[in-house]
Structure 1
Amino acid sequence: MLRLIFTFVLLVFAVNATAACNFTTANFLSELNNPKSIEKIEVRVPKSAKFARNFTKILISKSKNIPPELKKNFKAIVTVKYEFGSCSYDAKVKQNGDWKDHVSFIDGGQPLRSLNVKLKEGNILNAVKFKLLLPETRNNLNEVLGSVFMRELGFISPETFQVNTEVNGVRSLMLFQEDLRKELLERNNRREGPLFEGDENLLWSYEGFENFELESLALSRVSNDKWFLKGGSSQQITLSAYSLLQTAYLDYSQNIEARKDHIIFPNNRESSVFDDYFFALFAMNGMHALRPHNRRYYFNSFTNLFEPVYYDGNINLHEKVSSKKAEAYIINAFKVGYKFPYRNTFLDKKFANTSLDEFKNRVVISDEEAKRFFDKALSQTNISIESYQKKIDKRAVFSSEFEVSVSIQDSYLKKQKEFGVKQTNITLSEITESGFNVLNVNGEKHSLTVEELALVVSDNELKDSRYTLFPNTISNVEKLDSEVTRLQLFGGDILHSKNLSLEIDQVAKKIQIQQQTSKDWVLFRHVSLKNWSISFTGSNKSLPSDEAQTQRFNRYGMTGCLNFYQTKFESVKVSAVDGACEDSVNIVNSNGNLDLIRITRAYADAIDIDFSEVKIDKVEVSGAGNDCFDVSGGHYNLNQVTLSNCGDKGISVGEKSQLNANNLVLDNAVLGVSSKDFSEVKINHAIFNSVGVCLEAMQKKQEFGGARLLVESLECEGEYIQDSNSIILREVL
């Protein structure tokens, strides 16, 4: 048996990590990913008197809603108590919620409220921004189980669980729910991208109007404007998607009665993702999430489609939607012949067992109580699914057609005039070196900086006045589509830039790809590949300075020259030479096994794999401007790895990944193997030559913690780096 020791005795130097926890986070990787490990969350607001007065002002305010000006930030200290230790973080808290059901009293008249929490350091289950909600505002157990069901079905759904809390000495049970941010996307195996939601600014607390009186003027907005501001690619992707979503909201706003207050079509009708989302929430009696002002969206640049993000369903899993409402939704929301694809999933024992286990981990009631609630909820959901599907099957008419025309914009402008709402409506004219040119309704041109347009799309506001960006007649997504070639093959499709050369030999099962320019790319999407060899040859031209990307991805969202998305591999060989992209090969949300990945002369990263589960027999990289092998958010098994001339790291493992490698040979790199951010790396045998830092284990990002790195046999004369939250283990030589 190998005798292992902690490598910190061999460290040349160590990097200090945040000492917010009284334990080493790398020792509890699985526990820190399980809500059941949390015993209590304590929130202490030092300025308790001001915090209490703020509560009273909200309570006695005359409006039905919580006045926005009373949602003030307070400095706080948040302490998370686990069964194995505790962590304390500086934070900010403020009142959560639109309505006054988010303020209440418990026994003894002690004040209780829903809170928005933003941690300045550290995280709770990877979340740095989250809500602590009064359980009754979300139907308590229904919200927890509903979010589990939605996530198990593959929809983006926030981490939600019951937790015991103590806020300034007041103890209560609350619901923890993470905010819609990058961390939520990555938890749901999505790459960071544009997020949107319905704009609620006109719906309540708008001076001179009753609640919802201006719903016919309420459109959408960008939720993550910081991502928009990151660079030109982010801006083009966001604006392309925003144009499509604004079109859908314009249609809804001028057809509210016909859309039955709930029906909206963000994608073209060829995609059924929103039909499936609607039906799932319909069956779970969570129609509240389907109101357009409650809806949240993620735009997936790999598919060029919006995805729904579950939020605030007010789900009631033990009751069904009333028959009268059900008939109206069925007639208007679903096409004739629609089939709910998850009908059998809800009947599957594996789905039930997994969902029950996830539910038990997220509630503080006994397992017996959880099982009773779960069984009744699943039974009623299955009854609703069968009932609604039968009604759809009997229907012969679909009455809700999606129509977009200039007349809808005219109708909107007419209503705006009737209401007397002062709002400047603009359309995007062109992108300039300094920002954007826009046109108002009179055709007058104005210039906006990137920061100014960010305010318009995120807050519908500019210079203390209301501004709204109207959609273009032809969306940028459609323009981008015209610049891409699409081939339907292998059960999915292959998309590539127009100039790229692609040759397929069906007999030899070989695909040869040739760049003509350094901007060319190809994407294999939703395909199954068995016994194929794919070779990519770059243009062998260095990137001109005017073509250098300000971001890692292009305007199509691709980081790689050769990209794979939701691909199933079986005995596949991949090679790339002279890839002039951020990644020569990028694999996302894929699974299976590859015989070989061979990369020669990569411009930046040679191989980048995200949110995947793959086995690779041989990895060979010769020359990379940055990392030779970079993975995140998945499970990876490597047999033989040979790397040389890596500009930075040989192997980089991050964001809750698990990587196992059998044999690793590395020549010439700044750093050998890096395990970061809740990742765990195990290597059987490694030989490093000309490597400055042999091994590194670190926490790099706030939303994660330390990492583990185990090498059973290592030959390396370089240094070792680890922080106080991480662990490096190696054989004693």
Structure 2
Amino acid sequence: MSQNNQVRKQSSSKFHSGFGALVLFIYLLSSNLLLAEEDFLDPSCVPVSFSSMGTERLRDSAFPDEISISLSRSKSKKWRVNLFKAFVHRSANIAPEYKKKFKAKINWIDENKKCSDTAKIRITGDWKDHIAQNSSGNFYSSLAVNLKDENINNVVKFKLLLPETRNADNEILSTIIFREFDFIAPETRFINVKMEDSEDLYLYQEVPAKEMIEAFLQRESIMVEGDDRRIWDMVPFQDSNATVDGEWIESKSFALPENGSWADNPISRSITLDALTLINKLFFNYLIDGHRQELITIEALKASNQLIERESLFFLLSKLMSGSHGLLPINRKFYYDPLYQKLVPIYYDGDIEIDKALSTSAENFASSLPAHYFPTQDIQNAINNFSNSAFLDVVFDKYKKRGGNFPRSKIENAFNHYVDILTVMQNNASPENEFEKDGFSAEINLVEYLSDRTKGTFEFTGFDISKNQYSHCKISLSNSNLNTQCSHLQGKDISEVFKKPTSEDGEAIPSIGNFSISSDGNLILDNGIRNIAYTSDIETSMELNVPAGQTHFLSFSGEQTPLPLEINIVSEEENGQVGRVVVTGDVPDGATFNFEGQSTIIPTEIRYNRSLVTGCLSFFDGELSNLNVHVNNAACEDGVNLVRVNGTVNLLDIKNIGADAIDSDYSDLTFKNVIVSSAHNDCIDLSSGTYRIESFVAERCQDKAISVGEEANAYFNLVDIKNSQLGAVAKDGGYLNVSDGTIDTYGNCFESYRKKQEYNGGAVITSQALLNSCGLKIFAQKGSTIEAY
């Protein structure tokens, strides 16, 4: 029997009732316990409480002030020896062989409770400024930490950096500023760390990973980054007397997946290839244009916005804060959004100096940032924020809570100077003869490319769309003739494309994404034909037939569509593919969507498509007002999927669904009437948002009738659940309140537990009468709670 099931069989439930007799009731509860089949993790250190439930990650109030790291006696000695060897090694950088992982124990205090976990730690950082000696003579270093079972404020992987390696206070402040502009940036703060009989101040910074992406209301997807392996493998870092051709290094350094393990099935691999194709198109253009500074130059900013979400604003903020280091190709990181087929910038390691701009007059600084290269809304957006005292209040408050030392006046002076610079930019006339790049070439002439970089060959991996196969190619130039050798990758060798590929000699080579090589010697980067259709001119009454395998986007641009709006959708199905519809933008008041599928049989375990769409009918990024939805027969992971939408839903009438009937993420919604009949999984699954459901009727839910998780808050006024496996479940920081109704299930009426490492347990509150009516069939894992009133 697993440890989890052993825990579940114990009387570990936490149950509170205003009627008293707690001890007796727990005994009765244990004897009536019905076990669900779903696996769950051991309880987290910190039990959930109603005060800790919420849609925001409570990083400001609950973050520990100190972390203690200890190793066993034998590991401690090996750690010290390894650290010393790394420091005295002849190389200027920290050699890879000293970045081995050590098993350690991590201790911290969370909400006045002592917590501990096993972790893997290692030295992190490129240069040896990441290793130092304290006043006691002990060596210490920047650390990468990976917790085994627990999380610290929803984070599992993080780094503890020597503050001077990231410009200390500047890094904390800059991450806050980027986050307040709605850019992805890692949580960063000062923290005391005790290790090996010494105590030192570190910068805590989360690692770009699933938890960080989801905190910014994005689904887990591939992230890509500049590949710096060739730089650190070069001879000069091993021998200070050697020299190297920097242009040659750059000509072979492109981008690679940050989280390549995510690409573990054919669809996620296709998404990863799409991302690599976009980013490496930018890298090729960077090299061809002869740039030696930012990956995206100022002349190309407007064009880059077509491929990178708000790149021009990201560039502008980085420049204002003197963070050009973070714009260099090898330092860039991006999240790929498959829905909109765009890269999203991630701020990381900008080496920012927040007030460096003060040493240059606004006029001189603005002269390096000609306004016509930026969309006007970017400049105005930055002015609006930096000139707003409320914005300064928010930034300074968050900065102080993270241990920042700068006085408010220093930040205010920097913001005022930014506004001066931006105002000069705004007022300057735009030169008419300035060069402005209007796009990025998708074709690279390999003869010209290799002629300019005559050392070595061009070797890479990717997916050859002309041959429909993964390939490892080696291209060389001899007397102006191309010699192309490509081998077909199969089986386990395919994984090479999504990790960190190397040549036979062990040299780093890129994964360039989707490509083909034309007969005239051009390398073409292209994601090929996508089975996607778009409709933006939406009529009052609309009949829509969606072919199997197609994703059809209905986009509301904000212009008023005549009322009443009714859209009838027929989804075709063939060879395991179904037609899907994605609705984006603000949907007109009272709109009705009718979706008719062909079956409920989902033929594959991969529950999303190349756009990362899980629903047969999905609503993304908009306002809903009295929406009406009818769905019958849906062979998708979700019958209806609602993502990043707010407003009111009048009716969801969902029948015969192959998995979850309704799934909502990152939303704030009020549902007036929800009716579900027959779902092969959950009838409603609510995550990361706030939800109010006035009336919920569900029958024949083969898993959970109600599932609330990932720190969602859900309030059900009246429920009528029958002939279902489980009733209402709160997990992973989810808070569920059920006021009244009836629940008739084969299994437990209520459950609360922990399933994912990055979250704690769940919390349920309901009426004593509702609990009694379902025969007290409940389960609350230790650290989770079910309470009655």
Q: Answer whether TM exceeds 0.5 for this pair.
A: yes
Give the C-alpha shift of residue 449 in structure 1. Answer: 3.0
Residue 228 of structure 1 corresponds to 263
Q: What is the SS of the residue equivalent to 2:277?
A: helix
Paired AA for residue 383 in structure 2: R
- Partners in 2 of 1:341 and 1:472 — Cα distance? 38
- Partners in 1 of 2:40 and 2:564 — Cα distance? 54
Is 1:251 the counterpart of 2:285 in the alignment?
Answer: yes
Say which is worse superposed, 701-710 or 255-264, in terms of deviation. 255-264
Say which is worse superposed, 243-252 or 398-407, in terms of deviation. 398-407
Q: Match for 1:62 among 90, 112, 133? A: 90
Q: What is the SS of the residue equivalent to 1:344?
A: helix
Q: Match for 1:29 among 52, 57, 62? A: 52
Q: Match for 2:778 among 710, 720, 731? A: 720
Q: Match for 1:133 among 161, 170, 191? A: 161
Call closer, same or farther: CA 1:18–1:64 in 2, change over 3 Å.
Answer: same
Q: Match for 1:242 among 239, 256, 276? A: 276
Is 1:354 the counterpart of 2:354 in the alignment?
Answer: no
C-alpha contact (below 8 Å) 1:423/1:468 kept by paired residues: no
Give the C-alpha shift of residue 199 in structure 1. Answer: 0.3
Residue 479 of structure 1 corresponds to 529
Paired AA for residue 391 in structure 2: F
Give the C-alpha shift of residue 267 in structure 1. Answer: 4.9
- Partners in 2 of 1:255 and 1:220 — Cα distance? 17
Residue 454 of structure 1 corresponds to 495
For structure 1, the 5+ residue unaligned runs are none
Superposition TM-score, scaled by structure 1 size: 0.89
Paired AA for residue 138 in structure 2: Q
- Partners in 1 of 2:269 and 2:429 — Cα distance? 40
- Partners in 1 of 2:624 and 2:691 — Cα distance? 13
Is 1:599 the counterpart of 2:641 in the alignment?
Answer: no
Give the C-alpha shift of residue 397 in structure 1. Answer: 2.3
Is 1:469 the counterpart of 2:469 in the alignment?
Answer: no
Say which is worse superposed, 448-457 or 109-118, in terms of deviation. 448-457
Q: What is the SS of the residue equivalent to 2:230?
A: coil
C-alpha contact (below 8 Å) 2:267/2:610 kept by paired residues: yes
Say which is worse superposed, 457-466 or 307-316, in terms of deviation. 457-466
Paired AA for residue 175 in structure 1: L
Q: Match for 1:18 among 19, 42, 57? A: 42
Say which is worse superposed, 181-190 or 34-43, in terms of deviation. 34-43
Is 1:312 the counterpart of 2:349 in the alignment?
Answer: yes
Call closer, same or farther: CA 1:50–1:375 in 2, change over 3 Å.
Answer: same
- Partners in 2 of 1:161 and 1:286 — Cα distance? 18
- Partners in 2 of 1:507 and 1:696 — Cα distance? 43
* Deviation string, structure 1 residues 400-422 (Cα, Å, up to 9, x no partner): 45442544544443355x333x6
Call closer, same or farther: CA 1:92–1:633 in 2, change over 3 Å.
Answer: same
Say which is worse superposed, 502-511 or 628-637, in terms of deviation. 502-511
C-alpha contact (below 8 Å) 1:669/1:691 kept by paired residues: yes
* 1:488-507 matches, cutoff 5 A: 506-507=562-563
Paired AA for residue 494 in structure 2: L
Residue 648 of structure 1 corresponds to 703
C-alpha contact (below 8 Å) 1:428/1:436 kept by paired residues: yes
Say which is worse superposed, 586-595 or 54-63, in terms of deviation. 54-63
Paired AA for residue 629 in structure 2: V
Call closer, same or farther: CA 1:401–1:210 in 2, change over 3 Å.
Answer: farther
- Partners in 1 of 2:374 and 2:528 — Cα distance? 25
Percent identity of the aligned residues?
27
- C-alpha RMSD over aligned residues: 3.3
- Partners in 1 of 2:667 and 2:66 — Cα distance? 33
Q: Match for 1:115 among 115, 123, 143? A: 143
Paired AA for residue 47 in structure 2: T
Call closer, same or farther: CA 1:173–1:622 in 2, change over 3 Å.
Answer: same
C-alpha contact (below 8 Å) 2:672/2:693 kept by paired residues: yes
Q: Match for 1:541 among 587, 599, 602? A: 599
Q: Match for 1:413 among 438, 442, 450? A: 450
C-alpha contact (below 8 Å) 1:73/1:93 kept by paired residues: yes
C-alpha contact (below 8 Å) 1:429/1:439 kept by paired residues: no
Residue 239 of structure 2 corresponds to none
Paired AA for residue 697 in structure 1: S
* Deviation string, structure 1 residues 108-152 (Cα, Å, up to 9, x no partner): 333231111111110111111110011111122221121112112
Call closer, same or farther: CA 1:485–1:702 in 2, change over 3 Å.
Answer: same
* 1:240-639 matches, cutoff 5 A: 240-257=274-291, 263=297, 267=304, 269=306, 273-320=310-357, 327-328=367-368, 330=370, 334=374, 339-363=379-403, 371-391=408-428, 397-404=434-441, 406-407=443-444, 409-416=446-453, 418-420=454-456, 424-430=459-465, 436=470, 440-441=474-475, 442=483, 444-449=485-490, 451-461=492-502, 465-466=506-507, 467-470=509-512, 471-472=514-515, 477-480=527-530, 483-487=532-536, 506-517=562-573, 519-538=578-597, 540-541=598-599, 543=601, 548-639=603-694
* 1:658-673 matches, cutoff 5 A: 658-673=713-728
> Which is higher, the Rg of structure 1 or of structure 2?
2
Call closer, same or farther: CA 1:232–1:448 in 2, change over 3 Å.
Answer: same
Call closer, same or farther: CA 1:567–1:431 in 2, change over 3 Å.
Answer: farther
Q: What is the SS of the residue equivalent to 2:722?
A: strand
Call closer, same or farther: CA 1:71–1:326 in 2, change over 3 Å.
Answer: farther
Paired AA for residue 18 in structure 1: D
- Partners in 1 of 2:196 and 2:18 — Cα distance? 49
Is 1:215 the counterpart of 2:274 in the alignment?
Answer: no
Give the C-alpha shift of residue 338 in structure 1. Answer: 6.6
- Partners in 1 of 2:167 and 2:471 — Cα distance? 47
Paired AA for residue 177 in structure 2: F
Residue 7 of structure 2 corresponds to none
Call closer, same or farther: CA 1:271–1:311 in 2, change over 3 Å.
Answer: closer
- Partners in 1 of 2:545 and 2:397 — Cα distance? 42
- Partners in 2 of 1:78 and 1:143 — Cα distance? 24
Call closer, same or farther: CA 1:529–1:212 in 2, change over 3 Å.
Answer: farther
Residue 124 of structure 2 corresponds to 96
Paired AA for residue 719 in structure 1: K
C-alpha contact (below 8 Å) 2:294/2:328 kept by paired residues: no
C-alpha contact (below 8 Å) 1:536/1:576 kept by paired residues: yes
- Partners in 1 of 2:444 and 2:250 — Cα distance? 18
Call closer, same or farther: CA 1:438–1:75 in 2, change over 3 Å.
Answer: closer
Residue 709 of structure 1 corresponds to 764
Call closer, same or farther: CA 1:217–1:601 in 2, change over 3 Å.
Answer: same
Give the C-alpha shift of residue 16 in structure 1. Answer: 8.6
C-alpha contact (below 8 Å) 1:691/1:718 kept by paired residues: no
Q: What is the SS of the residue equivalent to 2:329?
A: coil
C-alpha contact (below 8 Å) 2:600/2:656 kept by paired residues: no
Give the C-alpha shift of residue 692 in structure 1. Answer: 1.1
How many residues are matched?
A: 715
Call closer, same or farther: CA 1:329–1:125 in 2, change over 3 Å.
Answer: same
- Partners in 1 of 2:408 and 2:53 — Cα distance? 24
Give the C-alpha shift of residue 398 in structure 1. Answer: 3.8
Paired AA for residue 425 in structure 1: F
Give the C-alpha shift of residue 301 in structure 1. Answer: 1.3
Call closer, same or farther: CA 1:427–1:188 in 2, change over 3 Å.
Answer: closer
C-alpha contact (below 8 Å) 1:111/1:170 kept by paired residues: no
Call closer, same or farther: CA 1:102–1:232 in 2, change over 3 Å.
Answer: same
Superposition TM-score, scaled by structure 2 size: 0.83
* Deviation string, structure 1 residues 439-475 (Cα, Å, up to 9, x no partner): 6544555321354233234313265644433452565
Paired AA for residue 58 in structure 1: A
Give the C-alpha shift of residue 253 in structure 1. Answer: 2.3
- Partners in 1 of 2:368 and 2:294 — Cα distance? 7
Residue 41 of structure 1 corresponds to 67
